[in-house]
Structure 1
C-alpha cells in the first residue's frame, strides 16, 4: 500500500496531467511497465564524433519547436509525452521517458521557449500543486541563455531562445552511484556526448525552474517553505570510457544556510574548475537533493531544473 501511495503521490505532484478518462486507473504495475518499456529503447539518431580537439557547444534553435505544443508563454517539445524518443541536438543525446497511455507522464529532458514565471502553486487550495502540472515548462530566467536581446521574464506574448527543461524521477535512480557502472536504463537524467569518443566538459549554464523556486519560497502542497539551514542542489556526475561514474560536483539552486534564502533567477555558470573534476566523459548524469525530503518517499521539493550552453571538447 505504501508503494501505491508513493507512486500516486509522485505522479500527481510531478509528472501527470489530467487523465483523458475519469475511469482510468493508475497502478504501480502498469506504470512501471510503461516506464521500463520506454527506457529500453535509446535514440535511433546516428551521431558522428567530431575530430579530437574540437569544441562543441549546445545550440538550441527555434526549429526544435516549430511543431511544438503551444502553452502559456510559448511552446514545449512536441514529443514530451511520446514514448521511445530521446531529444537529440548536435552531438548531444538527452534521456527522455514518456507515456500517454491512460495518463501523461514524462521525465528526463525536453526543450522549451516558454516565458512564464507565474506562481501556479495555489492549486485546489493554498499552497497546492495542482496548477503546476499544465504549467511545468518554464525557467526563472524567462528565456535561453543565448537570447540576443533582453527578454523580461513573464512578459505576455514574448519568447526568447529555447532552453532545456529537466525533470528528475528519483525513484528510478540508484542513490550515491559514484564508483558503480553506468547504464542508460538505470538513470532518469543523462546526456550522452558524441558516439564513442570521450570529452572534457568546458561549460554549462543552470537556471532554477519556477516550480521549485516558488515551492522553496512559499511551499506548494508537498514541500515546505525553506527556513534557515535548508538547501536544494543539483548533483552532476561524469561517466568515463570504462562506464564508471565519477564523484559528483554540486551546483546549489537554493541556499538558506546564511541569514536569508538565496536563489539566483538568472543563468548561472557551473565553474570550469568544478566541471574539470568530472574528467573525460562519455555521459553526464544528473541527480538532485534537498533538505526537504522524506526518508521513505524522497525529495519533496519539485525535482526540476533548466540548462543551456553545454560545451565540450573531444579529448580522445
Structure 2
C-alpha cells in the first residue's frame, strides 16, 4: 500500500507547486509523462548496471545517468532492475527494492547508488517544466542494514531503540544551470520521542516535487546519522519508480491585464480585485520571475485580496488566479 509522505518532506523554502509557462500567457492544460522503465528490456530477476558503457538509460522524458568503472567493475548513479528479493541481507542484494517489486507490482524500477550523487536529466517537452513527483522505497540492502545492523552499519535505534537515527534523501532541483530549490525526504527516521512512530520506508511512497518549480535536472544525494572514519556507514542506495513530469499543452486565450492589481509598482501592500469571480472558489498564487511559487491561497466569494509585500525582495512577480473556468495571470513589480 502506498503512502503520502507530506509529513516527512522538509522543504527549504515555502511550499509551492506551479511554474509559469510564459510571462504573457498561462498554460491552462497539462500533459503528464511517466517514466516507469517498462520500456527497458530485462530478463526475469536481473538488472542493468551500466557495464555496456552507454552512460545511462531513458524512460519517458527522463534520462538517468550511470557511471561504470571498468577497472573495479563497479557503478554509481542509476541502474535498473526487476529483482524481487526483499529478504536477503548484504551487498549481493544491492539491486533489489525493499518493496519486493516495482511500484504497483510492476516489473522494472530504477536503483540509485549515490556516490556522492545520482543525476536525472529531463528531456523532450518536459525540459524546463514543473515536476509532479515519483514513488520511492528503500533498497533491500540498505533497508535490512538499518533494520538489523551488519558488519559495517549500526542497527537503527540501537539496542534500546532510543537512538535518534535517520537516513535522508536530498533532492536538488536545477534550472538553467542553477540550483533553484531542494527538499529532504527521510527514508528512515528514528528521531521520534515515541518509538512506535519510528520507521524505515518499505512500501512505495509518493514524493511530491511540485514545490521545486521549473526543472532541467535533479541531483539526488544521501546522508545518515550513522557515520565512521571513511564516511557514511549506511548503504547509499534507494529505489525510484513512476517518475512523473507535467508540461503545458494549451495556452489560455486570456492574456495579461485581465486581473486588476494595484498599486503597480508596489512597495508594501498590494490589492487584487476579485469582483469578476463573485460566488466562485478560486486559487490565487504568486510566482517569481523564474516561475517558482511563493504564495498560494484558496478563496471563496471574495471581492478583494490584500497581501503585505514588505517581506518580498524587489523584482518582477506574477499573480495567477485559477478557477474552474479560466487561468489568469498578471505581472507586477515590487520596488
TM-score, length of structure 2 as denominator length: 0.59
Structure 2 equivalent of residue 30 of structure 1? none
**Consecutive unaligned residues in structure 2, runs of 5 or more:** 1-28, 158-162, 250-335
Structure 2 equivalent of residue 265 of structure 1? 202
Instruction: Give RMSD over aligned pairs.
Output: 2.1
Structure 2 equivalent of residue 299 of structure 1? 232
Give the alignment partner of residue 289 of structure 1, picking from 223, 241, 247: 223
After superposition, where does 1:85-234 map in structure 2 within 5 Å? 85-101=55-71, 103-121=72-90, 132=91, 134-147=92-105, 160-170=106-116, 188-195=117-124, 197-227=127-157, 228-234=163-169
Residue 238 in structure 1 maps to residue 177 in structure 2: no
Q: 1:111 to 1:249 in 2, by over 3 A?
A: same
* Whole-Å separation in 1 of the counterparts to 2:119 and 2:248: 20
Structure 1 equivalent of residue 37 of structure 2? 60
Give the greater-gyration-radius structure (CA).
2
Deviations 1:80-122 (A, max 9, x none): 3233421111221101000233x3100111111101012324x
Shift of 1:218: 1.9
Shift of 1:285: 1.1
TM-score, length of structure 1 as denominator length: 0.62
* Whole-Å separation in 2 of the counterparts to 1:190 and 1:226: 28
Checking the alignment, whether the CA contact within 8 Å between 1:65 and 1:75 is kept in structure 2 is no
Shift of 1:226: 1.3
* Whole-Å separation in 2 of the counterparts to 1:84 and 1:161: 22
Shift of 1:195: 4.6
Q: Secondary structure at the match of 1:202?
A: strand
Q: 1:222 to 1:247 in 2, by over 3 A?
A: farther
Shift of 1:136: 1.2
Q: Secondary structure at the match of 1:257?
A: coil
* Whole-Å separation in 2 of the counterparts to 1:218 and 1:239: 36
* Whole-Å separation in 2 of the counterparts to 1:106 and 1:220: 22
Q: Looking at secondary structure, tell me which structure has more strand per residue.
A: 2
**Consecutive unaligned residues in structure 1, runs of 5 or more:** 1-51, 122-131, 148-159, 171-187
* Whole-Å separation in 1 of the counterparts to 2:221 and 2:93: 22
4+ runs deviating over 3 angstroms:
none
* Whole-Å separation in 1 of the counterparts to 2:206 and 2:54: 31
* Whole-Å separation in 1 of the counterparts to 2:35 and 2:54: 22
Checking the alignment, whether the CA contact within 8 Å between 1:146 and 1:161 is kept in structure 2 is no
* Whole-Å separation in 2 of the counterparts to 1:253 and 1:233: 6
